[in-house]
Amino acid sequence: DTEVTQTPKHLVMGMTNKKSLKCEQHMGHRAMYWYKQKAKKPPELMFVYSYEKLSINESVPSRFSPECPNSSLLNLHLHALQPEDSALYLCASSKYNTDTQYFGPGTRLTVL
């Protein structure tokens, strides 16, 4: 199984809603990543988890809250988002943080 899965595929939420994005991999990878990608731009790193511990937070606003409940699962909790947070949110994983990253299909988020 060389797949990273993400749910949901699409999400529309209001600015007062609370929602969560989910990412899962069963490749035994110990590094997992959240990226944000705006249209026609490269991905921007948000968070890195290494061995289930947060190792990098790229000064992301606190309305985004990551969680890594176990080595296969990565969540991104969303609360009080702004319309400018609308983007494609990509999850990735790698065996270690210096290895090839495998990307999920992304969640397309629209904030109204």
On whether the CB atoms of residues 18 and 43 are closer than 8 A, the answer is no
Q: Which is nearer to other proteins, 60 or 102 (CB)?
A: 102
Asked if 38 touches other proteins (CB under 8 A), the answer is: no
Asked if 97 touches other proteins (CB under 8 A), the answer is: yes
Instruction: Retrieve residue 55's tokens.
Output: 């190792």
Asked if 66 touches other proteins (CB under 8 A), the answer is: no
Binding site for other proteins (CB under 8 A): 40-43, 45, 48, 55-56, 88, 90, 92, 97-106, 108
